[in-house]
Structure 1
Amino acid sequence: MKHLYTFALIEAVARSGSMRKAAEDMNLTASALNRRIRRFEEEFGSDLFERIPGGVRLNPAGEMVLHHYRATLSDIARVQSQVADLSGERRGHVSIACSQALLPYFLPEQIARYRAEHPGVTFSVKVRDRARAEQELASYDSDLALVFEPVYLVDFEVLHLVPQRVHVVMRGGHPLAARPEVRLRECLDQPHVAPDARYGVRHLLDFAARRMRRQLDPVLETESFELIRHYVLHENAVGFQIPIGLRESADGSVAFRPVSERDVAPGSLILGQLRGRTLPVASARFAMQLAAALQDVAA
């Protein structure tokens, strides 16, 4: 939409922090980009950027303008999806920021199920830690967030919540695999692999360990839960994950057991959106499907 093009240029500059880099990204000359933004600032009555060493950044007025642009794009997408619904063919795009645990099983199943009924809807899935996922909602970069143990919840409207116990992941033949549940101290006495501090699982583990006057001392710390799941096959170590991201292997090579709630309290897997935002139809309907599926997980 041509009338929004200048706003897109402003967003490109804000994203890159450089007029020159933004011009390259938008296939313009730097002088043409600069003239367009200067013209907008004159008509608007305020500068949008302040110069800093090495580039530019939005000033408070620029941040307000960019927020308005993103909200406008969201409103247009919502109206487009409503108009598409009038023709009986749902279209639209759904963007989701989520924890890694949702990637192997839950989200692929849910997206495929939704698209089987509404093939005109497309998706983007971005893996984000719990703090970044909330930022994505506030900046309109994502419609929905599905994260374990969100940090702030300031502008986060909770659509559904399901408890998840922390589980130990290990080789199928590991001695702890014979237990129905394990104690945290037993895990910490073993070589262990842990997610880094940005993730909700690690937050719960660190809190529980401090209560026991212990601390995690992982042989491997990573941002990848996939690495944790595979690493335990190569060393007789244990890792940690939530059950929505786990399934028993057909050959029994990997096992997982819950950590006792006497040691580690369950965390919350939360589906949410930006507070006060009216979602496009496709995103709102997909959120309803996710909430129902999470209810089944809890059951």
Structure 2
Amino acid sequence: MNHLRFLRYADEVARAGSIRQAAERLHVAPSAVNRRIQDIEEELGTPIFERLPRGMRLTTAGELFIRYVRGRSAELDRVRSEIEELKGLRRGTVRLVASQALAPRFLPSAIQAFRESHPLVAFEARIGDHVQAADALRSFETDLALVFNLAPEADIERAAALEQRLMAIMHARHPLAQAPGLRLRECADYPVVLPNRDTGGRQLLERFLARSSIRMPAMVESNSFEFLRGCLLDRQSISFQMAIGAPTDDRDFVAREIEDRGFPRGELVLASLRGRQLPVIAYAFAEFLRKRLAQTRTD
């Protein structure tokens, strides 16, 4: 299937924006990549890239062609998965984009549990927000998305949704650590360290604060939950996270529910691209996740 490998050259140039960088990723000579791009353009009868002083940019025709290439590659992955299933090997690669709150516990645990019955399956997991997840689905860069607050869209198929509440996270020796539940006004008396505005929990918090008299400026803001957790070691600061990612068995940190009346809840959504037939193993993992989320709802 050399022709598919050559199509991948074009896809890699589109992703890298440079023939040299694409060649490095593909472990081939830049001249080989350039030659294949020229062959494709000659066959199509039109340029698929603009040659710029600092790289390569897709033309309108190129965008159409690369979408075809990625769709073709995704279809080949599905066929390979079905062939492996016929052979009884149950292997392949599952690609997914997940929200950061799922990275420490939920997602690793789910993958580990799935691999107990599918030990030959590999995973490519990316951490991203709902916008990045939708883009990755549409460009065939991922099979599945498991993210917060994914807006309903015509080309996105929602397989499952789980309502999630926001939790206040603090050190186990924080002055508020023994309270069974908290109101935001109590939290505002302490330094607040917040995830960036792309995260589902931050968006819920901002939505509530916008219609409240409470002021809660971030003393520290970061896109790393691990870094924010480290900021809580001062035993004074408070952070916020969705319940599914909140610490439950950590002796150093505790999670407390926000009890303000009318506080909004988030939605964790499992989704794929509508109309796309997933590889067998990706579909199997989606079904596994759907059941696991249902179990989380009843726990």
Scaled by the length of structure 2, the TM-score of the pair is 0.93
Q: Does 1:75 align with 2:75?
A: yes
Q: Does 1:156 align with 2:153?
A: no
Who is 1:56 aligned against? 56
For residue 162 of structure 2, what is the amino acid of its counterpart? V
TM-aligned CA deviation for residue 210 of structure 1? 0.9
Asked whether the equivalents of residues 133 and 145 of structure 2 are also in contact (C-alpha less than 8 Å), the reply is yes
Who is 2:259 aligned against? 260
Aligned counterparts of 1:229 and 1:96: Cα–Cα separation in 2:
25
Q: Does 1:233 align with 2:237?
A: no
Gaps of 5+ in 2: none
TM-aligned CA deviation for residue 99 of structure 1? 0.8
TM-aligned CA deviation for residue 154 of structure 1? 5.0
Who is 1:222 aligned against? 222
CA displacement 1:188-209 (0-9 Å, x = unmatched): 2321110111111111111111
Who is 1:247 aligned against? 247
Who is 1:280 aligned against? 279
Stretch moving more, 23-32 or 180-189: 23-32
For residue 140 of structure 1, what is the amino acid of its counterpart? F
TM-aligned CA deviation for residue 294 of structure 1? 0.4
TM-aligned CA deviation for residue 177 of structure 1? 2.5
CA displacement 1:243-291 (0-9 Å, x = unmatched): 111233453x311111125252110011111121110000001000101
Who is 1:189 aligned against? 189
Asked whether the equivalents of residues 173 and 235 of structure 2 are also in contact (C-alpha less than 8 Å), the reply is no
Asked whether the equivalents of residues 184 and 260 of structure 2 are also in contact (C-alpha less than 8 Å), the reply is no
Q: Does 1:105 align with 2:119?
A: no
% identical aligned pairs: 39
The count of corresponding residues between Structure 1 and Structure 2 is 298
Instruction: Describe the SS at the equivalent of 1:285.
Output: helix
Aligned counterparts of 1:231 and 1:154: Cα–Cα separation in 2:
41
Aligned counterparts of 1:298 and 1:248: Cα–Cα separation in 2:
16
TM-aligned CA deviation for residue 53 of structure 1? 4.2
CA displacement 1:69-120 (0-9 Å, x = unmatched): 1111111111111122222221111011101111222111211111111112
Aligned counterparts of 1:287 and 1:250: Cα–Cα separation in 2:
29
Aligned counterparts of 2:55 and 2:152: Cα–Cα separation in 1:
30
Structure 1 residues 261 and 85: alpha-carbon distance in aligned structure 2, compared to 1, 3 A threshold: farther
CA displacement 1:35-61 (0-9 Å, x = unmatched): 221121111222101233422211121
Aligned counterparts of 2:95 and 2:14: Cα–Cα separation in 1:
21
Instruction: Describe the SS at the equivalent of 1:232.
Output: helix
Aligned counterparts of 2:168 and 2:83: Cα–Cα separation in 1:
48
CA displacement 1:116-171 (0-9 Å, x = unmatched): 11112111111112211221111111111111112574532111000110000012
Aligned counterparts of 2:202 and 2:152: Cα–Cα separation in 1:
17
Aligned counterparts of 2:94 and 2:215: Cα–Cα separation in 1:
40
Who is 2:288 aligned against? 289
For residue 92 of structure 1, what is the amino acid of its counterpart? G
Aligned counterparts of 1:109 and 1:278: Cα–Cα separation in 2:
26
**C-alpha RMSD of matched pairs (Å):** 1.8
Asked whether the equivalents of residues 100 and 128 of structure 1 are also in contact (C-alpha less than 8 Å), the reply is yes
